[in-house]
């Protein structure tokens, strides 16, 4: 393949992936606890497609990872007793098929068995036991203090766990706004319960997506894609005319 087409194609593929990421950010602008993502692109040197005068290596656009902005979103009041937002660092932990997953989405509910669960039914884990939190559905009052202690009718019944993850780059997205820690050999860097978390009952953390910024990025990507497409078309036209001239010689 022609060097020009190879460069243009690599750039177009990266731009298409970047567009998918921006579109996903916009789609989750109203998803509680969602963290904005961005594509990480680098230039990679590779040999030219054919031997010719000029540089022996060309620079191609290559996607090498995904970046996430874990800065806190705004706290929005809901007034629901079981909605909780973390102010500052840390993650809630839930159990999914026996494995721990971490999230900033504090839209909690009670299931039929009295377990405190996430919005999709995954059990929320206790800070001390890292097991399910059992509540009394018929209690007259339920309050959650700033340190996560759950009190029903004046009696402490459990503590919502907030866990600190020191290496955020080791988190792998699992969907539903949740993450697992993938780089954790021999239990090192195991998320630990925070000693003094700050939680707000009756609030949820909104997404930290800025729709105006994402729309601007989307338009920039579209213009870049159009420019690369024009660049490829011009290269194809030059090649076509060169072949036609060679055919007349």
Q: Convert the pLDDT of each residue in 119-134 to its tens digit.
A: 989 999 999 999 999 9
User: Of 67-71, 160-164, 203-207, 239-243, which gets the smallest average pLDDT?
Assistant: 239-243
Domain that holds residue 95: 75-205
Q: What is the pTM of this model?
A: 0.80
Report the share of the chain in percent with pLDDT over 90.
55
Are 178 and 141 members of one domain?
yes
How many domains does one find in the chain?
A: 2
The angle at the Cα of 82, spanning 76 to 86, to the nearest 5 degrees, equals 50
Tokens linked to 91: 């993650």
Are 117 and 224 members of one domain?
no
Averaged over 70-75, what is the pLDDT? 94
Report the alpha-carbon distance of residue 189 to residue 198 in Å, rounded.
22
Are 175 and 227 members of one domain?
no
Are 138 and 198 members of one domain?
yes
> Which is more confidently placed, 87 or 187?
87
- The most confident of the ranges 1-10, 41-50, 106-115, 184-193 is 106-115
**SS3 label, residue 17:** helix
Are 140 and 234 members of one domain?
no
Averaged over 57-61, what is the pLDDT? 64
Are 20 and 53 members of one domain?
yes
Judge residue 50's burial from the number of C-beta atoms within 10 Å of its C-beta, 0-12 exposed, 13-18 middle, 19 or more buried: exposed
Are 38 and 131 members of one domain?
no
Are 80 and 156 members of one domain?
yes
Are 194 and 237 members of one domain?
no
Query: What would the pLDDT profile of 142-153 be if each residue is shown by its tens digit?
Result: 999 999 999 999
Are 20 and 101 members of one domain?
no
Are 195 and 215 members of one domain?
no
Going by C-beta distance under 8 Å and a sequence separation of 6 or more, which residues neighbour residue 181? Answer: 102, 165, 167, 170, 171, 172, 189, 190, 191
Averaged over 151-172, what is the pLDDT? 91
Res 122: pLDDT: 94
Are 65 and 79 members of one domain?
no
Average pLDDT over all residues of the chain: 85
If you search the block for the tokens 């993650």, which residue do you land on?
91
pLDDT band at 228 (very low <50, low <70, confident <90, very high): confident
pLDDT band at 194 (very low <50, low <70, confident <90, very high): confident
Res 89: pLDDT: 92
> Which is more confidently placed, 45 or 64?
64
């Amino acid at each position: 393949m022609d060097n020009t087409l190879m460069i243009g194609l690599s750039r177009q593929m990266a731009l298409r992936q970047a567009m998918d990421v921006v579109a996903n950010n916009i789609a989750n602008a109203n998803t509680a606890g969602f963290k904005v993502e961005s594509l990480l692109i680098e230039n990679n040197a590779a040999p030219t497609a054919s031997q010719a005068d000029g540089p022996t290596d060309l620079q191609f656009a290559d996607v090498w990872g995904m970046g996430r902005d874990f800065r806190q979103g705004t706290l929005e009041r809901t007034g629901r007793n079981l909605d909780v937002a973390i102010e500052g660092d840390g993650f809630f932990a839930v159990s999914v098929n026996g494995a721990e997953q971490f999230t900033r989405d504090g839209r909690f509910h009670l299931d039929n068995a009295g377990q405190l669960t996430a919005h999709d039914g995954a059990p929320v884990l206790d800070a001390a036991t890292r097991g399910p939190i059992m509540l009394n559905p018929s209690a007259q009052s339920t309050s959650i203090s700033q340190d996560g202690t759950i009190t029903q009718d004046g009696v402490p019944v459990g503590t919502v766990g907030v866990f600190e993850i020191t290496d955020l780059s080791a988190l792998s997205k699992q969907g539903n706004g949740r993450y697992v820690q993938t780089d954790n050999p021999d239990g090192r860097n195991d998320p630990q319960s925070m000693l003094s978390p700050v939680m707000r009952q009756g609030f949820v953390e909104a997404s930290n997506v800025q729709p105006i910024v994402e729309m601007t990025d989307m338009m920039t990507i579209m213009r870049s894609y159009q420019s690369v497409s024009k660049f490829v078309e011009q290269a194809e036209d030059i090649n076509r005319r060169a072949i036609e001239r060679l055919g007349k010689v």
